[in-house]
Amino acid sequence: MTDIEQPSLFDEEQKPRRAAKSDKKSAKRAPRKTAEPEPTPDAQNLDDGPLHRLMDENFLQYASYVIRDRAIPEIEDGLKPVQRRILYSLNQNDDGRFIKVANIVGYTMQFHPHGDASIADALVTLVNRGYLIEGQGNFGNIHTGDPAAASRYIECRLTDLAATQLFNDDLTEFIPSYDGRKKEPVVLPAKLPLLLMLGAEGIAVGLSTRILPHNFGELLKAQMDILQKKKFTLIPDFPQGGLIDAREYDEGRGRVRCRAIIEQKDEATLVIRELPYGVTTEAVISSIEDAAKKGKIKTKAIRDYTAGKVEIEVALGADADIQQAIQALYVFTQCEVSLSLRPIVIKDQRPVEMSVHDILRHNTKRLVELLRKELELERKKIDEALQAASLVRLFIVNRIYKRIEECKTAPEVRQAILEGLAPFRNQLRRDITAADLDMLLAIPIRRISLYDINKSRREEDDLLADFDAVEKNLTDVTGFTIKYLRSLLRDYADEWPRKTKVEAFDTIEVRELTAEAQTIYHDKEKYYLGTDIGGGEPIFQCSPYDKLVLVWNDCRYRVIPPPDKLFVDKNLVYAAIYDRDRVMTLVYQANGISHLKRFTFGGIIQNKDYFCAPESDPAKCLFFSDEQPDALYVKYTPRKGQQIHQQVFEPKTVTVRTPKTRGIQMTAKGIASITVQKPRNWDDKAGPKGALIK
């Protein structure tokens, strides 16, 4: 658990100008290298004037307000203020029937100092989550992203889960609303881990939070594991379903990868059945169309049949590879998304970063305390009921009411009752109060005349049994909490089964997937190279994510992305996919001497010229290959008096070095040709084996 370091936003006693003062002190302590002019009075007024201080103070207040009261949820009940006010308004007006959303928005505006649009949007989001508010009408579509109908046309009410688990006025602290006319709760006494059930996203001043929703039943089971001191794991669960890879979840502080569920309908058709979290059908279709335009996936048609469930058909080409098309959808479209997470909550009036497990532990601890307080309240109510039942029984059975017939004043009446009950003090739960006397005096004559002592005894016995049960639960609140969670699990968990499937996704290599997506052509007549040169011969296929290396006759080389059309002139001798570790064999001539070298390109900056021979000596490439020839057959240019006309060299005996090395000296003779295959006119007796001079 990590506190976010923003004390100036949340410490009311800290002066906003303290940092500025400390900066001035440090500036005074720092040695001055050169004399600086004193600030003018106008500059001093600009830095220390009332307008500057006003801006500082107001910005700090605004930042604090946005963080605490708008964007970041409270850990105690897991709600943002607007959500809490909506639920409280629904509870205050709940009569079991559906209520117009427009009316609830109006009720909520008594507590929420912002516009009705934010309230309506938050209410629609809560309805679509499904746990707390039940909707009737068009609340939009989480799959397509379609908005809800106007708030005057749709209705809502609290679910049974929310009505029974979120509210208890006896355990709620209230504060005045923004205009002082109403009372609103600081936090709701929610007995559910709402923050992890609903998830949360918010952007504040300098802070943002993202907490993913989890499965209701799994959260309750994890809470029981916490109480039983067992290990537990939590993996998000989304209302849209889909697939999730949570290997990097890191208790809600890492990231997850989410995928759509894609099925094969026939040999040329794929169907998208479920979407990743936060992605709509419109976004998926748009991303598929963009990928198709860029040639990353070949599609014939996209048909959207989504209604209650997602159904997007993607028709492929007749020669399409189904598995490769599925992988392309995951790589190049919104069928796969990666979500980075940061669980930040408000705790003790400050933003704090906590793991999902720590949040659930806090919720569980709070649940135990809430249940303890509810049991104590229940015990007090039963105790008061027993006191009242005992007083009524003694008052009627012992005919104490007869004593008040002769009393003439109210004090005499009260004294007569006290004196009549005094001998039975040992049968009462506590001393008699004025409220007890008022209750006895309010008993109607009809009840006294029809009083049934046996029924009264049975009611007292039932109350005593309830009291003993509450006392027993108070001695083991943890055990009672586990039973409570089991009852919730039994009553509600089946309504929200897990929808998102957990899988481990294999990493799709984009270069392998698109290895043959582009063809590089070389026009040897016009000296162009690229994927779209309108002619030439194909020399190799590559991925749009590959890099190409080009080598020219002067031993110059360059690494570039696959070009559409690039003029390479007539001196280009080599073009291929760049591989920094591939061993190259080069024979070049500089200053009349031929050298042989083997090297690897290594790391290279794109679109920058390099040389694979020493730049100090103008070089000419005689032979260049990315293969590993066993022998090089060299024929020399005929010269008068020359005795050796051909030689064989073995490149593999040369050590692999960097491109800047000079290489091994071969010969000072003029070279007519170099081949890796023995020429037909080669005379094995005509010359000795080539000697490489180091």
Three-class SS of residue 353? strand
Give a yes or no: residue 43 inside a domain. no
Q: Where are the beta strands (DSSP E) in 460-607?
A: 501-502, 518-523, 528-530, 537-542, 548-552, 556-560, 566-567, 572-577, 583-590, 593-600
Query: Is 235 within a domain?
Result: no
Domain end call among 340, 373, 396? 340
Note whether 382 and 335 are same-domain residues: no
How many structural domains are present in the chain?
4
pLDDT value at residue 4: 45
Q: Do residue 646 and residue 518 come from a single domain?
A: yes
For residue 485, being part of any structural domain is answered with yes
Residues in CB range of 587: below 8 A, 6 or more apart:
594, 595, 596, 621, 622, 623, 624, 632, 666, 671, 674
Q: What is the CATH number of the domain that holds 482?
A: 1.10.268.10
Backbone φ, ψ for residue 572 (5° rounding): -70, 130
554: burial class by Cβ within 10 Å (0-12, 13-18, 19+)?
middle
Q: What is the pLDDT of residue 15?
A: 39
Q: Are residues 660 and 520 in the same domain?
A: yes
Domain CATH number, residue 81: 3.90.199.10
Residues 662 and 548 in one domain: yes
| Residue 327 sits in the same domain as residue 375 | no
Domain end call among 190, 205, 236: 190
CATH number at residue 544: 2.120.10.90
Assigned domain for 18 exists: no
Residues of the chain with pLDDT under 70: 1-48, 509-516, 683-694
Q: Alpha-carbon distance 225 to 330, whole Å?
A: 36
Same domain, 384 and 486: yes
How far is Cα 530 from Cα 536, in angstroms, rounded to an integer? 10
On whether both 528 and 491 belong to a single domain, the answer is: no
Structural domain for 470, as ranges: 362-495
Q: Check residue 213 and give left, alpha or beta (phi > 0: left; psi -120 to 50: alpha).
A: beta
pLDDT score recorded for residue 553: 92
Report the percent of the chain where pLDDT is more than 90: 60
596 and 566 co-located in one domain: yes
Residue 15 lies in a domain: no
Identify the bridge partners of residue 583 per DSSP, sorted by sequence position.
600
In a domain, 316, yes or no: yes
Q: What is the CATH number of the domain that holds 322?
A: 3.30.1360.40
**Residue 619 shares a structural domain with residue 552:** yes
Among the options 62, 65, 88, 153, which is catalytic? 153
Same domain, 415 and 533: no
Where on the phi/psi map is residue 599: left (φ > 0), alpha (ψ -120 to 50), or beta?
Answer: beta
Write down the pLDDT at residue 567. Answer: 92
Q: What is the pLDDT of residues 278-302, one digit of tens each?
A: 999 999 999 999 998 887 888 999 9
Residue 222 lies in a domain: no
Residue 349 has a pLDDT of 86
153 is catalytic: yes
* Residue 587 and residue 646 in one domain: yes
Residues 137, 283 share a domain: no
Model confidence pLDDT, tens digit, residues 198-254: 999 988 888 889 999 999 999 999 999 999 999 999 999 999 999 999 999 999 999
Last residue within a domain, chosen from 136, 163, 190: 190
Q: What is the pLDDT of residue 11?
A: 42
Residues 62-72 have pLDDT tens digits of 777 778 777 89
> For residues 642 and 583, is the Cβ–Cβ distance under 8 A?
no
In a domain, 431, yes or no: yes
In terms of DSSP bridges, do strands 632-636 and 671-675 run parallel, antiparallel, or are they unpaired? antiparallel
What pLDDT, on the 0 to 100 scale, is given for residue 23? 46
